[in-house]
Amino acid sequence: MAGAYDDRDGLIWVDGKMVPWRDAKVHVLTHALHYASSVFEGERAYGGTIFESRRHSERLRKSAEYIDFQIPWTVDEIEAAKYEVMSANGLTDAYVRAIAWRGAGDDMGVASARNPVRMAVAAWEWGNYYGDAKTKGAKLDISKWRRPAPDTIPCQAKAAGLYMICTMSKHTAEAKGCSDAMMFDYRGYVAEATGANIFFVKNGEVHTPTPDCFLNGITRQTVVEMLKARNVTVHERHIMPEELESFEQCWLTGTAAEVTPVGKIGDYNFEVGAMARDISDAYEKHVRA
C-alpha cells in the first residue's frame, strides 16, 4: 500500500463498520477539526500481534477522559476493531492507528457536549520511522518550543492538540536536514523528541527525563523495564541542557521510532555505542517474542 493517505485501497473501521478506505471521511464542521478534540494511539503489530495492544486501548480511553469525553466503545471492542482491521487488510506486520474525536453535531463552538463521539481504526505497512538512523544514528535539532507546564495542558493525554508544537518543531528540523528535534520543558530541562522519549548513557548507566510534563510512553516504560532486568542502573531525573556534552550515547523510544540511536543533537555528538545497539536489538526481539 502506498500513495497519499486519503487515496489508497483497503478498509478502515469507522464507528463499528468496515468502510472502504477512500470513503472514510468526516464533515468539515467536525468539532475536532476546529478545536482539536481528539485523542489517538499509534501501535505496531509484529507477526500478527499488536505489541502492548491492550495498554494502548486503555490509554486511548483514558486520554479521552483527560480531555473531557467518553469513548462509547469498551477496551474489548477497541481490541476487536484493531484486529478486524488488520485481518480485513491482510496485514501481519503493520502500524495501527486508533483515533477518537468529537464529531459534527448540535454544537459548533468551544463547547461540544452535545456532539457525538466517533472513532476509527486504520492500519498500514510502515517501515523504520527514521529511515537508516537505526544504524547511523539520528540527527536532531533543538526546538525553540518547550513542552508546557502540566497545569496548562492534560500532559498525560495522547491528544491531537498537544502535537501542534511538535509538528512545527519537526518541520524546522527537517528543513535543516535533521530527522527530528529535541524539546526542553517549561523549566528548561531536557524533555523529549517530537514524538519519542529520550535516553542517555554515561559511564555505563542510563539517564532519562522524568515524564512529569510529557507522555510517559509505553515503549519508554518497556525499555526501562528491560534495562533494569539487564541490571543496568536507570536514573529517571531532571536533566539540564549543559549535561548533554557529558553523555556518551543517546537513543529515542516510541511505537513508531521503536529504539533508534541518536548520533547528534544540535552541536552535541554521541557514539552509536554498544548499549544503544544492544537495547535496540533486544527490543526488536522482545516485540516479536
**Catalytically active residues, by annotation:** 158
In terms of DSSP H, where are the helices of 143-253?
Answer: 164-175, 218-229
Instruction: Report the candidate in 175, 140, 144 with the shortest Cα–Cα distance to residue 257.
Output: 140
Report the amino acid identity of residue 143: S
259 touches 285 (CB < 8 A): no
Lookup: cell for 276: 544503544
Which helix (H) or strand (E) segment is 135 a member of? helix 133-136
Which helix (H) or strand (E) segment is 79 a member of? helix 75-88
Compute, in degrees rounded to 10, the torsion defined by CA atoms 138, 287, 217, 246.
Answer: -40
Lookup: cell for 231: 541490571
